[in-house]
Structure 1
Amino acid sequence: MKITMVVVFYKQKPEESKTFQTLKQTLFLQKEHVKEIELILYDNSPKSQEFHPLDYEGMTISYIHDPRNLGIVSAYNHAWARAKENGSQWLLLFDHDTEVTFAYINEVVNLPEFSQDIAAVVPKISCENTMISPIYSHTLRPLQEKPPTPGIQEVPVMAINSGSLISMAFLNKVNGFNEEFSLDYLDHWLFFKIYEEGRKVWLLDVELEHELSVMDYSRISLQRYQSILDSEGKFYQNYKKDLFPSYRTQLFKRFLKQVLTVKNKKIALHTLKRLLSK
């Protein structure tokens, strides 16, 4: 079974990435499986990083430098095109800050033959002792509900991109990743599309740790927060339309909370502007 993997970087050497470091400690040791895997390191940094793929014997690794920094969607669509060329059945997505484990890699390289109904295979993802992915997508407050259990997910869920295996048959049907979402909410669109197309998600009984800076307002720039707001509004207004009224209400509650608890009041101002926009 062929798998194409893509890890997206920004202003970081591949060897400094938690994802790449833990891939070396897990996947790279699976000598009998790495021949069927192509790894793409996609670097959105302004300047190219020094990297030598030939240092890693037995692995097919390519380093792509794209100084345009068009977000993760350009990296994913490049990887999708490469996966079509090399006949991969799955495309595996990674951010730079996911801690890959032996248990997860063993699941990936020993995937059973799933039916065409399964468009994505995902692990449990935790951040700071909280399971953040996958989550049920019928509510705006999914972390307050009981998390999904391993196996096929009949009820729609949303998973973060990193660690997700996406079926190439599904990606080819929907013509790759939606360029409307260059960075934020691309995962929301992807899993919305999976269930809209009548497909389903399989949840593995393994857990990965992932750093998610957007959970902390003190660690997020105003520019990034604005990007999140823009993508969030677009998603609920144009795709998950049934939740749009609830989203507007939630946005107002978020604004009030930010006024009271967030030190940088410009965060609250950006939320208010989004709330007052159409």
Structure 2
Amino acid sequence: MKKILVCIVIYKKNVFDIDILFLKEYENIISLFVYDNSPIAQSAPEVPNLFYEHDSLNSGVSRAYNQAYKKAKELGVDALLLLDQDSKFSTTMLEKYFLLYEKYGKDYIYAPIVCDENKTKVYSPAYLNHFVGKAQRFNEFGYKELYSLDGKSVINSGLMIPMAAFQKIGGYNEKLKLDFSDVYFIEKYKEINENIVLVDLYLEHTLSGDEGKDFAREYNRFRYYCSASRELGLSLKKKVIWSPIRRLLRLILKYRMLSFIKIFYSYYLKGKEI
């Protein structure tokens, strides 16, 4: 059985509350890398093969995943599994990854099906048109083990990335701290392989924009979104315009305020740094 490094990125979460840290069944083949973006460092639990890195600057998930890759390379593992801080993982889920890896090998990325709590939407794999993502309807979603990403993408949560594939892709773009981190990585992956292996398991997830109204949070987040949209276009050498415009219009209509236009102008059109 192959060895993997599980990377969990946390923010203001107690390390002791991460469920997968205490799975005993695979402790001989799983190492754990906790990347903590919280302002204050924590004392990590005494768990075998646990590595903890604190980043008080909150440098983002892309840097966290690149740091995890460096640790994985140092440990000589076969693959990297990316999880969110609230991901619920069991030994049964891990076994599905292992079985498919044995079948398809190191040339594919492995991704779960990510959906909402009520199982009405499939967030990943999702449609991607002009860098605008659109969820698939859960009741219309068709599972295929070898899944084409033509016109689609997957999110970071639950990805298992063989070390060879990560190296070929060249890693994550650390200028994309959160928004479009996964889009960039998957677009680079699609340059070498149009298909992923879809793991037949469902992870529940909440996407930004689903949480209701919070003007201060969304106003601030829109700065990062516009900056990331600009960086994505520059790094892929493609036009990424419709995605920030669509978000701009949605926010104006949602809050009945035009102040978002200034953010769009400054951070997307003029490239103001955050």
Offset of residue 187 of structure 1: 0.3
Offset of residue 99 of structure 1: 2.7
Offset of residue 177 of structure 1: 2.0
Match of 1:150 in 2: 144
TM-score w.r.t. length of structure 2: 0.82
Residues 150-182 of structure 1: CA distance to partner in whole angstroms, max 9, x if unpaired? 311233332111111011101122332222322
The amino acid across from 1:12 in the alignment is: K
Q: 1-side partners of 2:81 and 2:180: how far apart? A: 18
Contact 2:79 2:160 in 1 (8 A): yes
The amino acid across from 1:209 in the alignment is: E
Number of aligned residues: 261
148 and 262 in structure 1: CA distance in 2 versus 1, 3 angstrom threshold: farther
- The answer to whether the aligner puts 1:255 opposite 2:248 as a matched pair is yes
Task: Provide the aligned C-alpha RMSD in A.
Answer: 2.8
Offset of residue 226 of structure 1: 1.2
1:113 to 103, 113, 124: 103
The answer to which of 107-116 and 154-163 deviates more is: 107-116
The answer to which of 210-219 and 72-81 deviates more is: 210-219
Contact 1:117 1:200 in 2 (8 A): no
Offset of residue 263 of structure 1: 5.9
253 and 186 in structure 1: CA distance in 2 versus 1, 3 angstrom threshold: closer
Contact 2:226 2:268 in 1 (8 A): no
Runs (4+) off by over 3 Å? 144-148, 213-217, 247-257, 263-269, 271-278
The amino acid across from 1:77 in the alignment is: N
Alignment of 1:151-190 (within 5 A): 151-156=145-150, 157-190=152-185
Q: 2-side partners of 1:257 and 1:68: how far apart? A: 30
Alignment gaps of 5+ in structure 2 = none
The answer to which of 5-14 and 169-178 deviates more is: 169-178
Offset of residue 277 of structure 1: 4.8
Match of 1:137 in 2: 128
Match of 2:11 in 1: 10
Provide the secondary structure at the position in 2 that maps to 1:98. coil
158 and 84 in structure 1: CA distance in 2 versus 1, 3 angstrom threshold: same
Going by fraction, where is helix more abundant, 1 or 2?
1
Provide the secondary structure at the position in 2 that maps to 1:213. coil
Provide the secondary structure at the position in 1 that maps to 2:68. helix
Offset of residue 81 of structure 1: 0.8
197 and 262 in structure 1: CA distance in 2 versus 1, 3 angstrom threshold: same
Alignment gaps of 5+ in structure 1 = none
Alignment of 1:1-278 (within 5 A): 1-16=2-17, 20-21=18-19, 23=20, 28-29=23-24, 31=25, 33-52=26-45, 54=46, 56=47, 59-111=48-100, 112-118=102-108, 120-129=109-118, 130-138=121-129, 140-143=132-135, 147=141, 149-156=143-150, 157-198=152-193, 200-216=195-211, 218-219=213-214, 220-236=217-233, 238-239=235-236, 241=238, 244=239, 248-249=241-242, 251-262=244-255, 266-267=259-260, 269-271=262-264, 277=270
Offset of residue 70 of structure 1: 1.1
Q: 2-side partners of 1:210 and 1:39: how far apart? A: 22
Q: 1-side partners of 2:257 and 2:158: how far apart? A: 32
Q: 2-side partners of 1:239 and 1:49: how far apart? A: 37
Offset of residue 251 of structure 1: 4.3
Identity of aligned residues (%): 27
